[in-house]
Chains A and B, each alone.
Chain A
Amino acid sequence: MYFSHHKKCREELRRRFVKAELALFKIRYETDDREERQEFMRVHKFGWAEADDKEMQLHGDKLAEASSWSTQAANAQEKYYKVKWTRVPDLVEKRRVFLKDGMAYVPAREQSSIVFQEFSSSLEKALERTAKELPRLDEDTRIVPILDNLSQGFLAGVSSEWTSASTTADGDEITADMVDELARKHFPMCMRNLHECLRRDRHLKHYGRLQYGLFLKVLGLSIDEAVAFWRRSFSNIQDDKFNKEYRYNIRHSYGLEGKRANYAAKSCQQILTSDQPGAQDSHGCPYRHFAPDNLQTALLSTYSSQGLTSSDLPEIMHTVKAGHYHVACTRVFEITHSAQEVKKGDGVGGGDSVTHPNQYAARSRELEKAILDARKADMDGDVPMS
């Protein structure tokens, strides 16, 4: 467990801690009755002012238009609270308030968002302070086991992490030469797409390299093989440019440069929600980030050799349309592994849905290996007689 031994990891742990505490707080806050809530607000002085009549008149309909996203019905007499926008970054980021001259106008029914923001930021500050006051915390032998325990607690139940230890059962290393074949046989659509883009353009943009590079790392590509793989893939680029602009980043993602953090490969959740692809990008989740017609074309051209046909598409597109991207991906896994006797509902084993690209690839390789082993056993003739 590397969690408590690096600065980066302590930050990660802190982030998870804040997240868990916030979840707990939200439950408590939302189950309190209204009076208790108002009392809580009064005591903690959150620093907002009610928008006065003049402001209400000045901004008029825009206030309501800006909160038209809310599922709770607005009433005509609704109050708005005025708060510095920097206090409610989550509402600003999602464009859920009216914003004028640096002030965010929050509808009364969304007040809780402000409270949650304040709660997590004050908790974060307190934790940061603690970290600064105890810079050698991680070297204290009494405290390390406790922290390790804690960090495992946070990892448990968070299926987003997929560590290399659990992927390759027998620690198979893969080489740069193997990637083409592995991609064809075992990769989920997101990685197939990145692989095709890389082969076609002989280049990938930053987040594409990051998403694909970390995936390959966890798949078992060593640092030397990774450098070899990317060097050969970027065949339009001169050696010195490659060394200058890309080698460092590859080494960095293996924890050999900079912060020396052992970066995990991105989970489906992260791929779906963070670093949204820009207009020229190829990373992301194809089920979510491709236009429907492009997704269908891509699925057919990618997986028809593994048994996917156009008659499978309506079902897949239906789940995509409903926003169940992981279900669509899982279904594709089932269809493309029907030769290995995977049936509908089996998922990536035990009925599980895909939550991580490496889980998809690892399961696919396991299935292949099981069949090869069985075949080998057949040939060796040491199948137990029945």
Chain B
Amino acid sequence: MTTEKEPLTPELMLAFYRRLYPFKSVFNWLNHEHTPTKLFTQREFAFTLQGDVYLRYQSFLSVEELKKQVCTMNPTRFEIGPMYSARPRDRKTVRPGSFTPLLRELVFDIDMTDYDSIRTCCSDAAICNRCWAFISIAVRVLDQGIRDQFGYKHLLWVYSGRRGIHLWISDKEAMALTDEQRKALVGWMTVIQGGKEMHKKVNVRVKSNPLPPSINMALDTLRERFVDLILIDQECFQSESGYEELLKLIPDNIAVSNLRTKWRNTERSSKQKWTDIKKEIRNAGGENTLRGSLIFAAMEDIILQYTYPRLDAEVSKHRNHLLKAPFCIHPKTGRVCVPVDPRTIEKFNPENVPTINQLLQELDLGSQDATQNSEHHSDWEKTSLKPYVELMDRHVLALMEEVRKSKRGAGSSQSSSEMKRLGASHSRLPCLLGEHARLSLHATIGESGKACEASSCG
């Protein structure tokens, strides 16, 4: 994939935040309501500044305050963490032990690098439209599984800007999951396991029993895609090393030696080789014989091993894990981390995602509009960012509607007046800016926040 030719200057970033970043949409999505609640005011933001200084435990009382701070600090990107039991920026003033993460979207991260051992078209940081198919399959399977088995409805898929995708789930129950429950859910969803040195990475059956129903459901989706992607497009079993990996997964010495002899002597496509394995089941007496049933089960496991979503489990297990906010700019590609509709994920092409340069050109940077102090609330409407923001807003609308309904059911809330009271007393904003310039390059998680608070501003 081509990367941005022009460097991402601080000036470009600032113009993007000022004129294009949809703060309001992101605020609504995090807050679930129009007036700020603790879901927003006690939420951790972490900024990565120019020069890779990392500032954790930022928090804001309103969307205006967030925008103001983002424009002042002009981070290269920012991340979103959990809602804590107190405002993150005040964490040093609350009693030790009572600053804990409470609520947080359930998040997933899928990254192309986890498919490096399978894909044949690219390696390492590279990604092309062909290998994106691995990601689109993962989206399809996870989206379907989570909705069906866990009953969650508010799933937001966000392109990570280069070679992966994030999922944020905002259902009330999902937000409240403990780390233990998150770990359990990840365990349920995890099929690919075993380290680098393990050939067989799918071990989800009990003895030779059928697959559990949830995985069977995924397999129905994967079967077809396996043929298109693994056999036809990627030709994973064409090379000798490719088919040897495959043979290691077949638990039948007779079949393996038959196949090896055949494949060594004639050039056969991956698809033909897959058919050859099916023939071995017939030679063994069919699916109902012991040997035949084992090869059949192995074929199902192979489909899973090559196509089932590979999850970065650590991201999902802990409430306090930070994840890059939607609509940030990926520093290497210049592309916007846009929301993606899972229903049309197969049509999504990462190379068509707008870059910061493209968007600012669309806005016509040369125009007089770009003067320092003017506000541009909906400039994104004039650019190709528009469909993505609208996708986000539709998602948020459904989420807010449900929150409203459940609140009506639960009686009136006292939170909004409380929030107004809290909003009256913020004062420490300028402190952060003066300080961040002084932070050394070695500033690390936690330390950087401390450096700022220990300063003399007050």
Contact = CB atoms under 8 A, between A and B. Distances in A.
A65 interface: yes
Contacts, number: 138
B117 A280 contact: yes
A90 interface: yes
A93 B96 contact: no
Nearest to B443: A244
Contact of A282 (B116, B195, B313): B195
Given A68-B206, A240-B441, A243-B442, A93 B183 contact: yes
A135 B64 CA distance: 37
A94 B191 CA distance: 11
Contacts of A101: 148-151
Interface string B187-206: 11000111111111100101
B180 interface: yes
Interface residues of B, number: 53
A290 B52 CA distance: 38
A95 B214 contact: yes
Contacts of A289: 194-195, 197-198
A294 interface: yes
Given A92-B185, A257-B446, A135 B196 contact: no
B241 to A, nearest CB: 15
B346 interface: no
B358 to A, nearest CB: 30
B54 to A, nearest CB: 8
A86 B180 CA distance: 9
B210 A244 contact: no
B95 interface: yes
A240 B184 CA distance: 37
Given A89-B180, A132-B97, A282 B442 contact: no
Contacts of B149: 99-102
B369 to A, nearest CB: 38
A276 B193 contact: yes
A281 interface: yes
A294 to B, nearest CB: 5
Nearest to A101: B151
A100 B214 CA distance: 9
A129 to B, nearest CB: 12
A383 interface: no
Contacts of A293: 248
B275 interface: no
Interface string A85-128: 11001101111001111110000000000000000000000000
Contacts of A266: none
A278 B195 contact: yes
Nearest to A103: B151
Contacts of A81: none
Contacts of B442: 243-244, 247
A248 interface: yes
A102 B198 contact: no
A279 B183 contact: no
Given A65-B212, A102-B173, A248-B445, A298 B201 contact: no
A276 B195 CA distance: 8
Nearest to A65: B213
Contact of B150 (A99, A276, A284): A99
| Most interface-central of B194, B216, B447 (chain A CB within 10 A) | B194
Contacts of B180: 89
A184 interface: no
A290 B248 CA distance: 13
A278 B313 contact: yes
B114 A280 contact: yes
B196 A280 contact: yes
Given A279-B114, A280-B114, A85 B194 contact: no
B444 interface: yes
A283 interface: yes
Interface string B319-332: 00000000000000
Interface residues of A, number: 49
Chain B interface, DSSP helix/strand/loop, else mixed: loop
B144 interface: no
B238 interface: no
Contact of A92 (B152, B187, B197): B187
A85 B171 CA distance: 15
Interface string A253-286: 0000110000000000000000011111111101
A240 to B, nearest CB: 6
B180 to A, nearest CB: 6
A279 B204 contact: no
A100 B148 contact: yes
| Most interface-central of A193, A247, A248 (chain B CB within 10 A) | A248
B183 A68 contact: no
B113 interface: yes
A364 B180 CA distance: 38
Interface in A205-239: 206
B194 A95 contact: no
A277 B215 CA distance: 21
A62 interface: yes
Nearest to A241: B52
A291 interface: yes
Interface string B375-401: 000000000000000000000000000
B12 to A, nearest CB: 24
B98 interface: yes
B177 A86 contact: yes
A66 B196 contact: no
A7 interface: yes
Contacts of A69: 206, 209
A244 B195 contact: no
A277 B114 CA distance: 12
A285 to B, nearest CB: 10
A131 interface: yes
B181 interface: yes
Q: Which 10 A-B pairs have the closest CB atoms?
A: A277-B195, A89-B184, A93-B187, A101-B151, A102-B151, A93-B184, A69-B206, A62-B213, A99-B149, A290-B197
Given A95-B215, A277-B194, A282-B195, 6 more contacts: A66-B214, A68-B210, A89-B183, A93-B183, A93-B184, A289-B197
27 contacts: A62-B213, A66-B212, A68-B206, A86-B177, A89-B181, A92-B184, A92-B188, A95-B188, A99-B150, A100-B148, A100-B149, A101-B151, A102-B149, A102-B150, A102-B173, A243-B441, A247-B444, A277-B198, A278-B193, A278-B195, A278-B312, A279-B117, A279-B310, A281-B195, A282-B197, A291-B197, A291-B248
